[in-house]
Homo-oligomer: A and B are copies of this chain.
Amino acid sequence: MIHKGTMKPINTDQLILASASPRRKDLMGRAGLKFDISAADIDEDAVPYGGDPGAYVQILSAKKAEAVALKYPDAWTIGADTIVVVDNAILGKPKDRKAALSMLGQLNHRTHSVFTGFCIMRPAKNTALTRAVETQVRFKALTPEEISWYADTGEPYDKAGGYGIQGVGAFMVQEINGSYSNVVGLPVCELIQTLAQLKIIQF
């Protein structure tokens, strides 16, 4: 006999995702979490990059969580930040076609790293915890036509590193090593594990 739909609610405390990213919303929804969204508005440029990508995304995720958590001190707020790193430099979102072509050229036929940091914060309990996860992503050898075609899909422009692994961009990704959801924007396995450790969810 198959039991369907008898799943208990995975979390009872209020969860808030401090991100406007539709991809993070999708990942948390697919993971079975119930949550509200309140996007954080912080000045990311005010945080200098010191050369440690794991530390950097944790600092940014904490700043994002804090910006929202102070408004909802008794809820658990989740902030997150994702960066693409190649040759020790961060690739941001390409601002135009030229920048997109340049980024895709840098990623072409080699391995780069994607780091996501997340922070879970509840001010009323004086609790804040951050964590960073790294995934390595290998691009296949792309032809100039493939790069140009991909830039024309419009997909690069709102994404760190200029590509989306969950969209058309999947054709460029030969393999990954590590967490897939981490590349999309939130490492689901590690997030759920951390929520369970904090007793925010129970199985």
Q: Which residue numbers of A lie inside 8 Å of B, CB to CB?
A: 1-8, 27, 30-32, 96-97, 135, 140, 143, 145-146, 148-149, 151-154, 157, 165-168, 170-181, 188-189, 192-193, 202-203
Contacts and interface: CB of A to CB of B under 8 A. Distances in A.
Given A175-B178, A179-B174, A2 B189 contact: no
Nearest to A196: B146
A181 to B, nearest CB: 6
B97 A154 contact: no
A170 B7 contact: no
A149 B8 CA distance: 8
A88 to B, nearest CB: 23
A7 B170 CA distance: 16
A31 B164 CA distance: 11
A145 B201 CA distance: 12
A99 B27 CA distance: 27
Interface majority SS (helix, strand, loop, mixed), chain A: mixed
A30 B154 contact: no
A189 B203 CA distance: 36
Nearest to A2: B157
Contact of A188 (B154, B171, B203): B171
A174 B192 CA distance: 11
A151 B3 CA distance: 8
Contacts of A146: 203
B171 A31 contact: yes
A201 to B, nearest CB: 10
A174 B8 CA distance: 23
26 contacts: A1-B96, A1-B97, A3-B152, A5-B154, A6-B152, A8-B152, A27-B170, A32-B153, A32-B168, A135-B175, A145-B203, A146-B203, A149-B203, A170-B181, A170-B188, A171-B189, A173-B180, A173-B188, A173-B189, A174-B189, A175-B177, A175-B179, A176-B176, A176-B178, A177-B177, A180-B180
